[in-house]
Chains A and B, each alone.
Chain A
């Protein structure tokens, strides 16, 4: 028996090792060993005050920190029975979309693209293809600037608090941002075209696909959890009743199943379940590129991220317009601290994120629970790796490894999130 390992897989967030075992040329086992260190966030929030939860859980992930902050705020608000204003909802959607732009641009150009052009990193492209690198940086920077405009900085937003915001951007800054976002649409369409031009294997995952859905919106901020194959929709706050987590011996991240099946979350499942909710140019891009939703090809997650970039640029400009018209306030309204439990979900760039907390009469957290997108994806990723490896086992070692890494990166895994 021979074992092939790729330690500390590069260009993903967090530390993980791919292990492939072969017996006389036949793949006998494939694993994704997540060696990222456990930080025990779910135990860390216990004993802290309700208004510190978002500060702490935001530090689960430096890329999707707005989602962790937002989802924990919504869970605490659910426990106290707090309703937020439409203005607060719009601003929250905007700062989450800021992290979409930043995450998808980073993943597509910095993490994934080097695989398709045969380079170790994106940096050499700055010399050979400056236009591509500049485009990547423009999208990423617009995302960061959007999150900063609302949250105070690109990583770990400051202003998002229980019940609303502690400060708001000015109308003129918002207007200027809307103009930039409109102008960004061309860059995002070019990104989708670029990724659609990269050849990907015709591989199909056998897992279920889950995402939040909403009748009136592309569900990012809220919604019900929908299952593509099983066809159900359920309140997201009941996630513990449909997602089962198990501890596996080779990983610090738990694995998840739904009705006994592994499943995928992220851009591909979202587009599969909500393509009819995309903004016009995003829908057109999807159609022109000939991507038929629903698709089961995991590798298409990349191009789906690019389509979401188009959607985000268009949609945020629209949200800003709406925001400038709604009036109202984001200042938190008085609320009563009381014992209770609350659960909430949102769509982070890499998939559905669930948080739940129980709080006592003094506002102190007594229990916390978080399921991150990558923790949900890991079981399915491994199943995909096991199914895909035998089909490419004949390739020379370097190509075999690169192909496996491409599959892993297509999920845009965040191992620090997955362990948390």
Chain B
């Protein structure tokens, strides 16, 4: 029997779910692998009481989110987190870097919006155990299919672990650090073929911190290249403000 899959969105921009629909050539084949039990974005219907795989997008920013996650973990045999929001807190966690409550006032003034059960933005793993990860902001649809297939077959999660620099060199890119510009390739988890650098922009770390990264050493490299070592940390806040390192 095809595994029953539920796709659940927390605080996010839906970009990763959109990426799932963006594999136009293979979408119908991939949907054939599973029995799609719930996907608010694409289908009417309610979250059922039983399903096998929970695919979670988005960061945890409300008590309702945390509750939904606990329920999902109880129900599903397998939990897959997709995208930086879900894995590291991503961009939503950037709001957690300064007085979080004051941010409400910046946006809503003294008006009363719903905003019920608001809590500091956090990754899914802060609430429940996560079995598989698809990193990136946004995810790469092909990587999602690979991870989903591995999950369905019961193979282990094999997120790449190394930092990105090695693969970047094979793309024949000119290193940004050599040009005196900060880049996070030194410490970011590989797997995107250094997409941004290849297109002329420094890596900003959307795939999260590599578990093999040596951050103090990376700061020294920054200093050697004439950059402020703490620029590394400042840049890392963009997608990794919660500083979650998934091993």
A37 to B90, CA, bound (A): 15
Q: With an 8 A cutoff between CB atoms, is A284 at the interface? A: no
The reply to whether B15 and A37 form a contact with Cβ atoms under 8 Å apart is no
> B9: CB under 8 A from chain A?
yes
Shortest CB distance B58–A (Å) = 8
Q: Is the CB of A166 within 8 A of B24?
A: no
Report which residue of A38, A123, A153, A156 has the largest number of chain B beta carbons within 10 angstroms of its beta carbon: A38
A161 and B201 contact, CB distance less than 8 A? yes
Q: How far is the CA of A290 from the CA of B196 in the complex (A)?
A: 47
Chain B residues with CB under 8 Å of A120's CB are 43-45
How far does the Cβ of A136 sit from chain B's closest Cβ, in whole Å?
A: 9
**Nearest CB to that of A37 among chain B residues?**
B11
Chain A residues numbered 96-140 whose CB sits less than 8 Å from any CB in chain B:
102, 106, 110-111, 114, 120-123, 126, 133, 137-138, 140
Asked if A15 is at the interface (CB within 8 A of a chain B CB), the reply is yes
Interface size for chain B: under 10, 10 to 19, 20 to 34, or 35 or more residues?
35 or more
Residues of A within 8 A of B196 (CB): 152, 158
> Which parts of B192-217 form the interface with A (CB within 8 Å)?
195-196, 199-201, 204
In the complex, what distance in Å separates the CA atom of A46 from the CA atom of B11? 20
B27 at the interface (CB under 8 A from A): yes
Contact A47-B11, Cβ < 8 Å, known A10-B44, A62-B16, A249-B114? no
Task: State whether the Cβ of A44 lies closer than 8 Å to any Cβ in chain B.
Answer: yes
CB distance from A122 to the nearest CB of B (A): 7
B2-42 to A contact mask, C-beta < 8 Å, 1/0: 00000001111111111101101101100100001001111
Q: Which residue of B lies closest to A331 (CB)?
A: B200
Is B113 in contact with chain A by the CB < 8 A criterion? yes
Determine the main DSSP class of B at the interface with A.
mixed
- The total of chain A residues at the interface (CB under 8 A) is 62
Q: Count how many pairs of residues, one from A and one from B, have CB atoms less than 8 Å apart in the complex.
A: 174
Which of A61, A122, A247, A249 has the most CB atoms of chain B within a 10 A radius of its CB?
A247
Smallest CB separation, A319 vs chain B (Å): 21
Contact of A11 among B12, B24, B43 (CB under 8 A): B43
Q: A8-B40, A154-B19 are in contact. Are A141 and B137 (CB under 8 A)?
A: no
B61 at the interface (CB under 8 A from A): yes
CA distance A61 to B17 in the complex (A): 11
Q: Which of A243-277 contact B (CB under 8 A)?
A: 246-252, 254
| B106 part of interface (Cβ distance < 8 Å) | yes
Task: Give which listed residue, A35, A158, A167, contacts B114 with CB less than 8 A.
Answer: A35
Q: Is the CB of A39 within 8 A of B92?
A: yes
Is the pair A15, B200 in contact by a Cβ cutoff of 8 Å? no
Contact among B15, B25, B31, B238 for A141, CB-based, below 8 A: B25
Interface pair B238/A10, CB less than 8 Å apart:
no
Are A252 and B199 closer than 8 Å at their CB atoms?
no
Residues of A near B238 (CB, < 8 A) are 52, 55-56
List residues of chain A with CB within 8 A of the CB of B200. Answer: 159, 166-167
Q: Is A191 interfacial (CB-CB < 8 Å)?
A: no
Q: Is the CB of A42 within 8 A of B107?
A: yes
- With A39-B91, A141-B24, A416-B14 as known contacts, state yes or no: A123 contacts B43, CB within 8 Å: yes
> Given the complex, which residues of A lie within 8 Å of B106, measured CB to CB?
40, 42-43, 46
Closest CB in chain A relative to B94 CB, distance in Å: 5
Residue contact B43 to A121, C-beta cutoff 8 Å: yes
A60: interface (CB < 8 Å): yes
A311 at the interface (CB under 8 A from B): no
B26 to chain A, nearest CB (A): 10
Q: A167-B199, A252-B114 in contact; A122/B42 too (CB < 8 A)?
A: yes
Judged by a CB distance under 8 angstroms, whether A65 is at the interface is: yes
**Chain B residues, Cβ within 8 Å of A348:** none
Contact between A249 and B138, CB atoms less than 8 A apart: no
Does residue B98 face the partner (Cβ distance < 8 Å to A)?
Answer: yes
CB <8 Å contact, A65 and B13 = yes
Chain A residue contacts of B10, Cβ below 8 A: 37
Supposing A37-B65, A121-B44 touch, asked if A61 and B13 sit within 8 A by C-beta, the answer is yes
Partner of A40, one of B44, B45, B107, B199: B107
Q: Is A159's CB under 8 angstroms from B61's CB?
A: no
- Residue A33 lies at the interface, judged by CB distance under 8 Å to chain B: yes
Q: Indicate if the CB atoms of A59 and B113 lie closer than 8 Å.
A: no
19 CB-based A-B contacts, threshold 8 Å: A11-B40, A37-B62, A39-B11, A40-B103, A40-B106, A43-B95, A46-B106, A61-B13, A62-B17, A120-B45, A121-B39, A121-B43, A122-B42, A123-B36, A140-B21, A144-B24, A248-B113, A252-B115, A254-B108
**Contacts A133-B28, A152-B196, A249-B114 supplied; 8 other A-B pairs, CB < 8 Å:** A11-B42, A40-B103, A52-B238, A56-B94, A65-B15, A114-B43, A120-B45, A416-B14
The list of the 8 closest CB pairs from A to B, nearest first, reads A247-B111, A62-B15, A166-B200, A121-B43, A43-B106, A141-B24, A43-B103, A37-B11
